[in-house]
Structure 1
Amino acid sequence: MDMTSRAGKEARVAMEIAIDDFNAKTSQNVTLYARNSKGSLFEAIHEATYLIDRRKVEAILGLYTMEEVLSIGEIGSKSQVPTFSLLDSIPQRTLDRFPFLFQASPSQFGQMKAFVAIMKSFQWNRFTFVYEDINSASTEFIQHLMETIKESSIQMNNMVKLSPLASSSSLLEELERINMEQCRVFLVHASLETSVRLFQDAKTMGMMDIGYVWITTNVITDLLHTVNSSTFSMMEGVVGIGSFFADTNSWFLDFSTKFQKRFKVEQPEEENSMPAIFALQAYDATWIAALALTKKNISGKNLLDVISSLSLNGSTGEVHFINRKSTASKRYRIINVIGKYYRELGFWSEGLGFSQVTNDRATYQTSLQNMGHIFWPGRPLHTPRGWAIPSSVSPLRVGVPTMAVFKKFVEVKYDHTHHNFTYGGYTIEVFKETLTRLPYHLPYKFIPFNGSYDSLVKQVYLKNFDAVVGDVSVISRRYQYAEFTHPYTETGLMMVVPVITHHEQWLFVKPFTLGMWALTIVVYIYNGFVLWLIERKHSPELQGSALNQAGILLCLSFTRLFSLNGDQLDNNLTRMVTVAWLFVAIIVGQCYTASLTSMLTIRRLAPKVADYETLKHANAVVGYGRGAHVSSYLVDVLGFKDENLRSFTSPEEYAYALRNKEIAAVFLEAPFTKLFLAKYCTSFIVAATFGEGGFAFVLPKGSYMVTDFTKALLNVSESGTLQHIEKRMLGSEHCVDMDSMQDEYGRLGLTNFWSLFILTGSTSTIALVIHVVITIRSRLRW
């Protein structure tokens, strides 16, 4: 191993202690030969060959880099000498290639799940990944990171690759570039040396101030105990994910005492002599190797079988091999750099969450926020929001279709006064509302586009637009050019046709309201009573028993009006009543007839054509909206002939063509159908519905904004805001077919005939009063 590095220095001392402890406890005589590769692959190969050929060693330990693993793993396998690597990220394909190679350190890839848990704790959904291309092991780390975030809602905003030999000016350029973006959460995976330079330049640029979030992986965090106070001051506010080990039990305290004594003697140049994860992992690996060699001598088994069957309760937990890999770690430390050192916030355990203790399941929390106050860069009072608005950010170029048929959905107008375009409509309002629900600010500018909708979507693929907003349908073939958010309208393609009428059994009573019928009957009976009372002395047929008189009265109320004429009436009062009554009856009757006729025309609508197959076989002409994808659907899916299709540019054109039988049906997306039928509610009806994806926003393929927009759209919908916008923007459409009709369903009520009923009622009442006065006076004279 490289004994000039801190990891190598700790590992060597820990191995020496492990050999002493092992020999003392097992009465064995295991010898450790240490060789310093000084960070040189050539030196490592030379020393490994020497140990195997000259020293006849039975096992090799060390190998902290992937290059050493590949080279010395091959040497060990050819010589059939078990080689234990302390690198924690050896690909399985490499282990399969070299049968005597073992990964003795547990994999730390599980820390990516801890990182996602931290992101979710503070509702950050994007981060920038800054990593150093130290060796080929970095590739494995990136793969695991991508797999982990794929299973969550977290998105990688950018990836910044650092070179170990990068100059300060190069680091500053990279920092300046990522600082121009909105994302303010950074995950750093680099060597300690490079990381120190990175944070130093970040502090110079003001990127260690309020609003920034820096999270480090174990590559950095596990070495923080070795840095000086000035470095801690520069890194203040950093949150680190580190390898877990129990540092409070009696074994560790005893080991730490022995380690520090020996380490101070062997490495006097090091300021901090506390052991860390490197020492503990090396200690456990040495025990496993020594135990395997002695077990082999005892049992006579194949050495590889012996190693695979071993299980050890080591300093970092239970150690055993699965497919020649030490079992992966599922617990990590979470630290926070404050002032001149760092404090341990707690731990994260897979499947459990965050806790400040490790032996009580009841204390685990799902959020890091519950673990106490965290000091972020700049020591803000509140948690950083994870994004900011850089002054140099370019606005999102949003394409908007100008050929929209239904202007209430999207309308583009040119303002001749200010010489610019104005944009309105339902889709524009939904887009603006969605932007307010995004977890970051997104400046934008609308750009008009005059062309087909397929061409509009393709502009995103050609990078002429960054997004598209409008009445754009989600269909499969467009996915080759872009991606879509969750639809924000109803889905489906509908066939709209003219209606035929179907009438109700009791439709004849519907022209009048209940009140109207009641008053009509009362007035008719009252008028009949007045006629009967005045005329009974002069007409023998109006006399008789009380029962007979009641029947005559009812009959007179509803029949005599139309059978009596002026010659049959003997009294001028009854003639006056009859004239007024007849005038009102004629008007009311004519209105009833007109209303019933209208209802017989529009009530109980049914489609004139029930299915598209009928239209297709009849070679009928059908319509669709200009520029829409519907034409290709009609031809490719439903099988209509191209020459039987007509395009239109407005709802009025649809209605005119349908009424004049220029087309037999029109095919509209569900949102358009709803608006069209709201306007022409009695003339047309939906006959069939076909699968279609609804309207959605269009974004570039692979864009992180797809998830953000979809989540924001769902928030707009679930909060009820989408329904409010729909009601405000689309709910004002009135049915033009109903303009000539009165009240609900065209029914006539009391308000329509008050004056007529007052006329006939007052006439009859005046006649009745005069008749009563005349009768009283004549009796008094008598």
Structure 2
Amino acid sequence: MSTQTDFVIDIGNRTKVPIISPATSPSLSVKENPFFIRGALPSSSQTKAIAAIVRNYDWRQVVIIYEDSSYGTGIVPHLTDALLEINTLVSYRSVISLSANDDEILKELYNLNTKQTRVFIVHLQPYLASRLFLKAKEAGMMSSGYAWIITDVLTSLLDSVDHSVIESSMQGVLGIRPYIPRSNELNNYTRRWRKRFRQEYPDMDPVELNVYGLWAYDSITALTKAIAKVGTTIIPKFKKADTTENLTDLDALGTSEFGSLLLDSMRNTTPKTALSGEFRIIDGELQLYTYEIVNIIGKGERSVGFWTEKDGISQKLKMNSKTDKSMNEQLAAIIWPGESIIVPRGWEIPTSGKKLRVGVPVKGGLEQFIKVEIDAKTQAVTATGFIPDVFKEVIQSLPYAIPYEFIPFPIDSPTSQDYDDLVYKISSKEYDAVVGDVTILASRAKYVDFTLPFSESGISAVVSVRNDDRKNAWIFLKPLKSELWITTGGFFIFIGFVVWVLEHRVNKEFRGPKHKQVGMIFWFSFSTLVFAHSKSLTQSKLYTKSFRIYHCFSTNHIYGWLFQERG
């Protein structure tokens, strides 16, 4: 197709006749061919939209599958550059020959399946793409964990793909295509198209309009308006070559005097009404507008979002600046291959069918840490509890998938197997890892590597809670026994009584009513207990006229009383 387009463009350049073409190959340059007008979007214009999808799911490596033709290879450098801008690498480029048979396609898919990358961008025309997806289904590459993105050359022509291929082999694929807004003009034209098609081809299945057909219609509309703008009074003329000697058939065509005038009008035109939406040609190039992202489900596709160069990915078109960005930054829910709703990780370590063999101890005890169950019918082993949950979270956090299986290992069985035997299974290469409550010991560390401990083991004592005596206001009574406190109190009262007997006759402080004298006895004893150890007898003013009373008091014992007659 590209070769034919090059030939026609060359004729236009020689004869100075504008050539408007739906060619999408990026190798066809409008700048190098002044009479070439592109009436379709080049395939390179979708690369930023594809890169936005890859970035939205944080995939770091992709594989590009494209056909071995100028059309297929033309998109590769543009797509690679767009992916590099988001720090995503093209880990592998798979070229499919146009003449490849099914065995060759299947062999290439098996080769791709041995690599780590699980994100594939397919740039193939419908016939070759249909065979690819049939073989991908056969190779088990349309299951959970894989992600497939198809370019607009296939997404826009899905109606030409056999529905049985779509239903059996393309479920969960993401596609991108130019967005065609619904309008009354489009609906009316579609009805007329279907009616005319049924009349002229009653025995054929109806063919729906696609974006390329709408672009062709809009191109003709742009051409008629350009002719009307130049004027109908100008009669098209061709200037013949001066001589016909030694000229080829193309050189003998001459040049058009009307073409240059028509070219200026066609290179910059904007039809007021266009079936395909915003059909704007500027400097001979159809301008980029919105791309629609679809998810292939059932017999057709479901729209899950849009992409524009201004706003990037959005679930709904942002018609104005007031659109809530927080509710419009992600795509709608997507059904991935294998009917999975989990976003593919994009990576997987190729294991050639092998799984990580993980030994788990089967024993009684605290099932909250680890509990191993074996299904009686299927013999499937499941491990639950805190320790297996930690292991599963570690596996899930890796940027690639690691298949694994639990292998039960009985502990304290009649064969007297213990944890040492379980650990030695790793050194003997019977197990690849062990998950369980295995204590880190120096003898075991000689044979295996342990992870850092994430839980502590040990023995703890559980006792009832008692009241804190330090908060008791009577704690000062603790140093002495109750009998000693009673004896001490009795001696204080006795001494107070003795002092009263000796003083009440000569000291007026010890006289008065009986209740006053009894109170004085207790007050003298109390004041001596409280103040005598911190103040001198003179400072406390609690002394008698006949005796000086000295008080010796310590924390644990009262040594006695000393009486000295006043001199």
TM norm structure 2: 0.55
Residues 1:230 and 2:164 aligned together: yes
State, as a whole percentage, how many aligned pairs show the same letter: 30
Conserved? CA contact 2:290–2:306, under 8 Å: yes
Q: How does 1:51-66 map to 2 (within 5 A)?
A: 65-66=1-2
Q: CA deviation at 1:111?
A: 1.9
Contact 1:237 1:336 in 2 (8 A): yes
The aligned counterpart of 1:188 is: 122
Q: 2:40 touches 2:212 (CA, 8 Å); kept in 1? A: no
Report the CA distance between 1:210 and its aligned residue. Answer: 1.0
Structure 1 gaps, min length 5: 1-64, 395-433, 444-782
Q: Tell me, what secondary structure is at the counterpart of 2:278?
A: strand
- Matching of residues 209-228 of structure 1 within 5 Å: 209-228=143-162
SS of 1:109 mapped into structure 2: helix
Between the aligned partners of 1:124 and 1:268, the Cα distance in structure 2 is 48
Matches within 5 A, 1:122-271: 122-133=57-68, 135-233=69-167, 234-246=169-181, 248-268=182-202, 270-271=204-205
For this pair of structures, how many residues does the alignment match? 336
Partners of 2:275 and 2:110 lie apart in 1 by 43
What does 1:267-416 correspond to in 2, within 5 Å? 267-268=201-202, 270-298=204-232, 302-313=261-272, 314-327=274-287, 329-352=288-311, 353-357=313-317, 359-360=319-320, 362-363=322-323, 370-392=330-352
8 Å CA contact 2:218, 2:275 repeated in 1: yes
Residues 315 and 332, structure 2, Cα contact 8 Å, conserved in 1: no
Contact 2:159 2:207 in 1 (8 A): no
* Equivalent in the alignment of 1:742: none
What's the offset of the Cα at 1:386? Answer: 1.1
* Change in 2 beyond 3 A, CA 1:388/1:286: same
Segment drifting more, 265-274 vs 339-348:
265-274
SS in 1 for 2:346: coil
Q: Name the CA shift for 1:315/1:215 in 2 (closer, same or farther; >3 Å).
A: same
Specify whether residues 337 and 305 from structure 1 end up closer, same or farther in structure 2 by C-alpha distance, changes over 3 A only.
same
Which residue of structure 1 aligns with residue 39 of structure 2?
A: 104
In structure 2, relative to structure 1, the CA distance for the partners of 1:253 and 1:68 (3 Å cut) is same
For 2:361, the equivalent position in structure 1 comes to none
Contact 1:192 1:223 in 2 (8 A): yes
1:84 and 2:8 matched: no
Q: Quick one: structure 1 residues 287 and 215, their matched pair in 2 at CA, closer, same or farther if it must change by over 3 Å?
A: same
The answer (yes or no) to whether the contact 1:85–1:102 under 8 Å persists in 2 is yes
- Structure 1 residues 88 and 80, CA, compared in 2 at 3 Å: closer, same or farther? same
- Residues 351 and 96 of structure 1, relative CA distance in 2, 3 Å threshold: closer
Matched-pair contact (CA < 8 Å) for 1:118–1:368:
no
The C-alpha deviation readout for 1:268-323, integer Å capped at 9, x for no partner, is 46534321201210111111122222322258682221222422242223333333
2:75 match: secondary structure: helix
Which amino acid in 2 is paired with 1:213? Answer: A
Counterpart position of 1:73: 9
Contact 1:164–1:194 at 8 Å: present in 2 too?
yes
Equivalent-residue separation in structure 2 for 1:379 and 1:108 (angstroms): 30
CA distance in 1, matches of 2:327, 2:59: 12
The CA distance in 2 between the partners of 1:192 and 1:365, in whole Å, is 36
> Residues 323 and 182 from structure 1, CA distance in 2 versus in 1: closer, same or farther, beyond 3 angstroms?
same
The alpha carbon displacement at 1:143 in A equals 1.8
TM-score (norm 1): 0.40
* Counterpart amino acid of residue 74 in structure 1: D
Following superposition, the deviation at residue 140 of structure 1 comes to 2.5
Which whole-Å CA distance do the structure 2 matches of 1:82 and 1:157 have between them?
42
The 5 Å alignment of 1:565-714 reads none
Task: Summarize the Cα distance change of 1:268–1:238 in structure 2 as closer, same or farther, 3 Å threshold.
Answer: farther
Deviation at 1:186, TM superposition (A): 0.5
Helix, strand or coil: the match of 1:288? helix
How far residue 121 of structure 1 moved from its aligned partner, in angstroms, is: 1.7
Distance 2:203 2:306 in 1: 32
| Contact 2:66 2:73 (C-alpha < 8 Å) held by counterparts | no
Equivalents in 2 of 1:269, 1:379: separation in Å?
A: 36
Letter in 1 for 2:62: F
How far apart, in 2, do the equivalents of 1:160 and 1:368 lie?
A: 35
> 2-side partners of 1:192 and 1:362: how far apart?
40
**Alignment correspondent of 1:611:** none
For residues 231 and 108 of structure 1, do their structure 2 counterparts lie closer, same or farther at Cα, with a shift above 3 Å needed?
same
Deviations along 1:19-41, one digit per CA (max 9) or x if unpaired, are xxxxxxxxxxxxxxxxxxxxxxx
Give, as a single letter, the amino acid of the residue that structure 2 aligns with 1:378.
G
Asked if structure 2 preserves the Cα contact closer than 8 Å seen for 1:121 and 1:367, the reply is: no
Distance in 2 (CA, whole Å) between partners of 1:366 and 1:77 is 51
Q: CA deviation at 1:90?
A: 4.5
User: Contact between 2:115 and 2:350, CA under 8 Å: does it hold in 1?
Assistant: yes
| Partner SS for 1:290 | helix
Choose 1 or 2 for highest CA Rg. Answer: 2
Residue 104 to residue 229, structure 1, CA distance change in 2 (3 Å): closer
For 1:119, the equivalent position in structure 2 comes to: 54
Q: Kindly tell me: are residues 249 and 337 of structure 1, through their superposed partners in 2, closer, same or farther at Cα, counting changes over 3 Å?
A: same
The structural deviation recorded for 1:363 is 4.7
Q: In the aligned structure 2, how far is the partner of 1:79 from the partner of 1:258? A: 37
Asked whether the 8 Å contact 1:225–1:272 carries over to 2, the reply is no
Post-superposition offset of 1:236? 0.6
Q: Determine which structure has the larger helix proportion and give its number.
A: 1
CA distance in 2, matches of 1:143, 1:367: 34
- 1:326-379 per-residue CA deviation (whole Å, 9 max, x = no partner) reads 22x231111111122221112222221213346355557689983332111111
CA deviation after TM superposition for structure 1 residue 390, in Å: 1.0
3-state DSSP of counterpart to 1:225: helix
**For the residues of structure 1 that align with 2:25 and 2:43, how far apart are their CA atoms?**
8
State the shift of 1:149 in Å: 1.3
Question: Structure 2 regions of 5+ residues with no counterpart?
Answer: 235-259, 355-393, 404-567
Deviation of the 1:227 alpha carbon: 2.9
